[in-house]
Amino acid sequence: MNPALRDLVCGMPKAELHIHIEGSLEPELIFALAQRNGVALDYPDVESLRRAYAFTDLQSFLDIYYAGASVLLQRQDFYDMTWAYLERAHADRVRHVEMFFDPQTHTARGVPFAEVITGIKQALADAADRWGISGGLIMCFLRHLSEEDAMATLEQALPHRDSILGVGLDSSERGHPPEKFARVFTRCRELGLRLVAHAGEEGPPAYIESALDVLHVERIDHGVRCLEDAALVRRLAQSRIALTVCPLSNVKLRVFDKVGDHNLRQLLETGIVATVNSDDPAYFGGYINANFLAVFEVLGLGREHAHTLARNSFEAAFLPEPRKQQLLAEVDAWFA
């Protein structure tokens, strides 16, 4: 790839809006935390664990992802994981991050909600102090579990309401449509939480529609299957409901066979507010800039696409207006 374009893309200010913090847990840290906490793993060493990262679909990934998260027990573990991600994000010129976390993955193992959230929050606060990175937490409900379980998790979160920006919906998509979580999302909306959901990753475009119509989400995570429905594409473009697209994830989980088949370029051409993100960077082969570089190289994207994608990332962010305008101005200055 042209080195000037590479530097332009890598150095541009950007927001990351689709990162599962548990998906940033690198194999080396998994083994270090397993040792620190006396947790037994099914793999003898880092290399054999890494070799298991050959996924055939979303579920095959989730099985390993939840096993990896089993080493997280103490507040310090959540801090160390989040700090390691933030160092990488800072190196990729991430200026704002909205980070998913999966409390049910931890509370189901007896880890107190407070240990999870205080560890993550402290790392975000330290990154704000050190680098001026702004951030927020999006608590995801696991869609393979019941709505009652999600509601109980929301109850546990209430003492931490002020530390939570919004809620999302993740885990196994097929067979778990958004409407399964209608009541808990209504409650979250009443609480003033921002709303997002994974939809149209493996699931059909109808799941994107029900995330919009039933859950009233403000962004769609993935959403790449929207192109199968022309009316939905027009709706997303006109409403400026953003998609948080994760190219390397989509290839690793076989949503597309190869980066060259990815539809990011078409999504941008329809006028949809698409953004580029890493999803679970420790599992999918790269952090946010690796995702940008993969699509820029293979899809033949250029300077204008870079400018649009950087602007989209801040436009789609749940930021107070002055900070949003400040970051958009940083983008425009980079491209001036």
Q: Which residues bind ligand ADE (CB under 6 A)?
A: 20, 23, 58, 65, 170-171, 198, 201, 249, 279-280
CB of 151 to Zn ion, least distance (A): 22
- The amino acid occupying position 319 is L
Q: 77 is in the binding site of which of ligand ADE, Zn ion, none (Cβ under 5 to 8 A by kind)? A: none
User: Would you say 279 or 315 has its CB closer to Zn ion?
Assistant: 279
Active-site entry in 22, 26, 115, 201? 201
Which residue number is nearest to ligand ADE in terms of Cβ?
170
- Half-sphere exposure in the Cβ direction for 117 (13 Å, CA): 22
Q: With respect to ligand ADE, which residue has the nearer C-beta, 201 or 315?
A: 201
Whether 70 and 39 have beta carbons less than 8 Å apart is answered as yes
Nearer to Zn ion, 16 or 279 (CB): 279
CA distance 273 to 243: 6
Calculate the dihedral angle through the C-alpha atoms of 211, 217, 218, 224, rounding to the nearest 10 degrees. Answer: -30
Given the complex with Zn ion, which of 58 and 157 has the nearer CB atom?
58
- C-beta closer to Zn ion: residue 41 or 92: 92
Q: How many residues bind Zn ion (CB under 5 A)?
A: 1
- Shortest distance, CB of residue 102 to ligand ADE, whole angstroms? 7
**Phi, psi of 95, rounded to the nearest 5 degrees:** -105, -15
Distance of CA 330 to the CA centre of its chain: 23
Stretch touching Zn ion by CB under 5 A, among 36-44, 272-280, 281-289, 299-307: 272-280
What character string, x for contact with Zn ion (CB under 5 A) and - otherwise, covers 249-268? Answer: --------------------
Q: Could you give the CA distance from residue 333 to residue 336 in angstroms, rounded to a whole number?
A: 5
Minimum distance, C-beta of residue 287 to Zn ion, in the bound complex (Å): 14
Q: What angle do CA 262, 265, 269 make, to 5 degrees?
A: 140
Residue (257 or 304) nearer to ligand ADE, CB: 257
Binding at 58: pick from ligand ADE, Zn ion, none (beta carbon under 5-8 Å per type): ligand ADE
98 is an interface residue for Zn ion by CB under 5 A:
no
Residues 319 and 165: their CA atoms lie apart, in Å, by 10
Give the CA distances from residue 21 to residues 79, 255, 275, 284, in Å, rounded to whole numbers and listed in that order. 11, 22, 18, 13
Phi, psi of 108 (to 5 degrees): -65, -20
CB of 249 to ligand ADE, least distance (A): 5
Q: Residue 96 binds which entry of Zn ion, ligand ADE, none, with Cβ cut-offs from 5 to 8 Å by kind?
A: none
Beta-carbon contacts of 215 under 8 Å, excluding residues fewer than 6 positions away, are 169, 178, 179, 181, 182, 185, 195, 197
201 is catalytic: yes
Of ligand ADE, Zn ion, none, which one does residue 23 interact with (CB within 5 to 8 Å by kind)? ligand ADE
Contact set for Zn ion, span 276-295 (CB under 5 A): 279
**Helical pair 230-239 and 205-213, crossing angle rounded to 10 deg:** 40
Helix axes 147-157, 182-190, angle to 10 degrees: 20
Q: Contact residues for Zn ion (CB under 5 A)?
A: 279
Catalytic machinery residues? 201
